[in-house]
Chain A
Amino acid sequence: MSFALLMRLSLRNILRHRRRNAMLLAAIVVAVGGVTFMNSFIRGFQQDLRDSAVNNLTGHIKVFAPGYRDDPGIERSFYVAGDWRPDVSSGLLEGWAARIRIPAVIMSERETRGVQLVGVDPSQEGISFLGDAFYEGETLADENDKRIFVGQALVDQLDTKVGRRLVIITQGADGRNREAGFRIAGVYDAEGTGLEKAFVFTGRAALQKMLDTREVTEVSIRLTNDGAGSSVRSMLLSYFSGLEVMGWRELEPQIAAMFVFADTAIFIWFAIMMGALVFGLVNSLITAVMERVKEFGMLRAVGMRPGSVIVQVVIESSLLMMSGVALGLVVGWLLCQWMSEGLDLSQWASGVEMVGMRSVVVPRLYGADMMLVAGLSLVLGIVASLYPAWRAVKIKPLEAMRR
């Protein structure tokens, strides 16, 4: 029996029970649309995780002096020539920054806190959260700026404000403590108070002068595409020989672990959704077979092969699944468009921060994920049709026609 004929038979059989199959179709659409929609949020969350990891002064790739990560201090620093540029094609490179980042103690008249003092060149910081943070007062003017730029949460803790002076104590290149007063240029508002409490910024050249050094403790590079990381790393390794070059996954292992977990979550959601669907699908297919016992008997009697019976049932299931998947993907896509402003989770703000998300999650729909959902659904459609098909094959022509 030709495939085209089997196809026509299956199609007609589906159309014979429009209402019933419409219900089944609706269930498939809800499942596929729902999974697509949920996936886009998981992807949005995943992207947020990486962005916030990369944003919080990490970058995609970072260069350190050996030992700096265990014992950060200005004595573990290295020299970067003034005219050095990362040798990366401009299409791949989003930006780079050389910084000094050292532990320091900051004191107001009332309180004392431990912080990370970061010397930056403000013109390079478009790559970190500093570039687009909201602030009050002024930002740092250039790398010679001797003022500091402080987070809102720290300002609250220290009970101070813009324009006031704070005392910072840190260790100089010679190992002796330096103590100096700094005026607050501005107060930044980062997403999440963790960053605000941790980082105090000042001009890089000004800080170098205070510490008596010409060196920096880190070079951070941000790429336009995470995938290009390995080639850039080997380039950096050969230039900065003897230094450590690390990607964000090594630098932020917790976030990397969450990142991988999100990949698994997509499969778990899919499995649960399809688990709920499969019972209804098998149910409908079996009924469709059992209703047609006589027909199948007749077809077998006039010479239809058992294989063709199986193919016919499988085609029926696949046709239903394919149309459901197509519609479901459209519905999922529409839902994502509708939610393109993002889902506002700010009522759970600190819980959201605890898992490394932002308070607004924007859904991200990837073609690859849609293909995956479509592919797996079709496989499921075929698998679900096997038992009904086997039932159809078991029908004995003679008995069936005698009914």
Chain B
Amino acid sequence: MDEALNRPVASLRLNPKFGAVNVLLALGWRNLWRNPRRTWLTASGIAFSVWMLVFSWSMNNGTFGAMIDTAARQFLGHVQIQHPEYLDDPAFDHLINDVSGLVEDASNLPEVEGVAVRAQSTALLSAGERSFGGLVIGVDPQQEAVWSTMPSRIVEGRYLQGAGDLVLGVRLARNLGVGIGDEVVMLGTALKGGVAAAALAVVGILETGQAEMDRTLAQMTLDDFRAGWQLGADQAHALVLLLHRNKDTAAVAGRPWADGVIARPWTELMPEMVQMVELKRSGQGLFFVLIAVIVVFSVINTFMMIIFERTRELGMLRALGMRGGQLQTHLHIEAFWLCILGTSLGLALTGILLALLSVNGLPLPESTRELMMIYQMPERLYPEYSWGATWVAVVSMLIGTQLAVLLPAWRVRRMLPVEALRKED
């Protein structure tokens, strides 16, 4: 068991400048391998907790990213340019003017993948004797078709093409009792309190899987909307921007836009999503703390066993004049190596698993499909490596293992050399 110790430490080619430190480091590393099984078991505990945090956090990151992407691509975009008060009070007269200028600005940004201009209002939709409230949205079909997944959600008929076309959510169409070709009359409040009206023929039916949208959504062309709701040719409620990469959101939202408008990043458009993730993370964080505590106890235990087994040796070192503080340093270095071993093991395991999953994705069971649609999750989950979790895991394990040494070290310092030497194996 002690073979490693028989090799002279000095035979390692060490930088003479840091000789003393190197010898200590080498000694700690060798001490670790006097009982390989114990070292592996303790390191596995550390590896397990690192894996649990980094892996779950990375999976969450991936899922969260996919949810944002799905929501952005479906309808919301990454950034919306709105009237400054529109978000808190979506009143009809909180409009943006000079839309075409903004579209030009936005289209020239390298981060932007697509733009869409929208105007919307709640309205009363009627077909025959039936009437329902709905959210009528005027869109530019050419713009939407470029990036929005909405056109692909058509389950019957086709998406908007030109003037006179109307697309309805599936529940709304069923409630109104209309199908393709039927006419729907919309009544609402136009600008300055006038009556807004439009009568259009249904050309397509949408199913998004989100009950609220399917029950209320009606889309028509922006020109039809502007005509019906008496908007000017350059007025709208939102300019929706889809970005190539989600991480550019803050930069694009933060750049100076025209006067009288404000850029809203998706974090403001769907604050519930941000909060849900924070909530999930705090749960995982709490869990990691508990696991870290368990692992620290097991590291304390390991060092208790180590000093118990080395009582005689430690007594000898004390008798030869080594101070308690020096022996404590040895234990700290050993704990450091143990932690490095454990965290590397954990990160390697996490890396391999994540690499496999990022190729194939984690398929979700069929039974959860409905839930996934509601939370806008994709069918397969892909991880996104979390450097933040890596730092948290590694640093907390380093601190935890160093703290774990304190109790055994205190025992070593109290040890009386004579008694320790007298102890039988």
Seen from chain A, the residues whose Cβ lies within 8 Å of a Cβ on chain B are 17, 19-20, 23-24, 26-27, 30-31, 34, 38, 70-73, 103-107, 110-115, 169-171, 175-177, 253-254, 257-258, 261, 269, 272-273, 275-277, 279-280, 282-284, 286-287, 345, 348-355
Contact = CB atoms under 8 A, between A and B. Distances in A.
A37 to B, nearest CB: 9
A77 to B, nearest CB: 16
Contacts of A175: 129
Nearest to A27: B297
Interface string B188-202: 110000000000000
Contact of A27 (B44, B48, B298): B298
16 contacts: A26-B297, A30-B293, A70-B174, A110-B91, A111-B122, A112-B189, A113-B133, A254-B374, A272-B287, A275-B48, A276-B295, A277-B294, A280-B295, A351-B271, A352-B276, A354-B273
B41 A283 contact: yes
B13 to A, nearest CB: 34
B11 interface: no
Contacts of A170: 131
Contacts of B302: 280, 283
B49 interface: yes
A103 B301 contact: no
Contacts of A280: 41-42, 45, 294-295, 297-298, 301-302
A176 B129 contact: yes
Given A257-B368, A276-B48, A280-B298, A114 B122 contact: yes
Given A20-B308, A171-B130, A283-B38, A272 B275 contact: no
B38 A23 contact: no
Contacts of A106: 133
Contacts of B275: 348-352, 354
B42 A283 contact: yes
Contacts of A273: 287, 290-291, 294
B419 interface: no
Nearest to A294: B425
B122 A30 contact: no
B265 interface: no
B364 to A, nearest CB: 12
Interface in B76-90: none
Interface residues of B, number: 55
A359 to B, nearest CB: 11
A174 B295 CA distance: 71
Contact of B276 (A31, A272, A287, A348): A348
A280 B304 CA distance: 12
Given A169-B124, A257-B368, A276-B45, A114 B216 contact: yes
Contacts of A23: 297-298, 300-301, 304
Interface string B367-403: 1101100100000000000000000000000000000
B132 interface: yes
B304 A20 contact: yes
Interface in B181-215: 188-189, 215
A276 B346 CA distance: 12
Nearest to A21: B301
Interface string B107-128: 0000000000000001110000
A20 B407 CA distance: 11
Nearest to A24: B301
Given A112-B189, A279-B41, A257 B124 contact: no
Contacts of A272: 52, 287, 291
Contacts of A345: 279
B277 interface: yes
Nearest to B134: A114
Contacts, number: 166
B281 to A, nearest CB: 10
Contacts of A111: 91, 122, 189
A279 B122 contact: no
Given A111-B122, A257-B371, A354-B272, 20 more contacts: A71-B177, A105-B131, A106-B133, A110-B91, A111-B189, A112-B122, A114-B122, A170-B131, A171-B129, A253-B370, A254-B370, A273-B291, A276-B45, A279-B41, A283-B298, A283-B305, A286-B41, A348-B278, A349-B275, A350-B272
A287 B41 CA distance: 11
Q: Which 9 residue pairs are nearest across A and B when measured between Cβ atoms? A: A114-B133, A351-B275, A280-B298, A279-B45, A351-B276, A27-B297, A350-B272, A348-B275, A34-B290
Nearest to A345: B279
A113 B122 contact: yes
Contacts of B356: none
Contacts of A70: 174
Contact of B133 (A38, A112, A279, A284): A112
B175 interface: yes
B205 to A, nearest CB: 15
B263 to A, nearest CB: 21
A73 B175 CA distance: 9
B37 interface: yes
Nearest to B45: A279
B305 A351 contact: no
Contacts of A352: 275-276, 279
B163 interface: no
B274 interface: yes
A30 B133 contact: no
A274 B37 CA distance: 20
B172 to A, nearest CB: 9
B276 A71 contact: no
B40 to A, nearest CB: 9
A170 B291 CA distance: 57
A19, A113, A175, A351 pick with most chain B CB within 10 angstroms:
A351
Contacts of B131: 105, 169-171, 177
A177 to B, nearest CB: 6
A276 B294 contact: yes
A349 B131 CA distance: 34
Nearest to A280: B298
A351 B272 contact: yes
A115 B216 CA distance: 10
B187 to A, nearest CB: 8
Contacts of B123: 112
A175 B129 CA distance: 6
B41 A282 contact: yes
Contacts of B304: 19-20, 23
Nearest to A284: B301
A115 B370 CA distance: 24
Nearest to B299: A280
Contacts of B374: 254
A345 B276 CA distance: 11
B287 to A, nearest CB: 7
Given A272-B291, A284-B301, A350-B275, A257 B133 contact: no
A349 B49 CA distance: 30
Contacts of A113: 122, 133
B301 A105 contact: no
Nearest to A115: B133
Nearest to B375: A354
Contacts of A19: 304
A125 B130 CA distance: 29
A105 B126 CA distance: 11
